[in-house]
Amino acid sequence: MNCIGFPPSIDSSCRILILGSMPGVRSLEEQQYYAHPQNRFWPLMARLLGEREAPAAYEDRLRMLLRRHIALWDSIWRIAFMTSSEKLCTISVEPVCAS
C-alpha cells in the first residue's frame, strides 16, 4: 500500500508550523489533516485559539489556523507499507524535501 501525504496548509503570513509525521488511515481516506472523529486536535486548537468549538467544515478549520498564522504540514510525503496477517512493515519512507 502506497500512501501519499497532503500539501501544506500555509500562507505567507504564517509564523507557527505544526509539523506532523504522516496522516493516519482515516485522514488519508478523508484527505484531511486530523480527520478521525476521536482525534482531539481540532477541538483543542479551537479552545486554545479562543473559539467556542471547532468549525464543522474542514476548510473552515484550516482557515481558523491560517487566521492565527498557523501552518500545518507533514514531514513524510510518501510511505509504502506491506501488510501481512502478522504485522505491518514499513518498506520505504520519503521525507519532504524543501526546494
Exactly one of 10, 14, 39, 68 is catalytic; name it: 39
39 is catalytic: yes
Q: How far apart are CA 85 and CA 22, in angstroms?
A: 23
- 31 torsion bin: left (phi>0), alpha (psi -120 to 50), beta (else): left
- Write out the three cell numbers for 21: 509525521
Residues marked active site are found at: 39
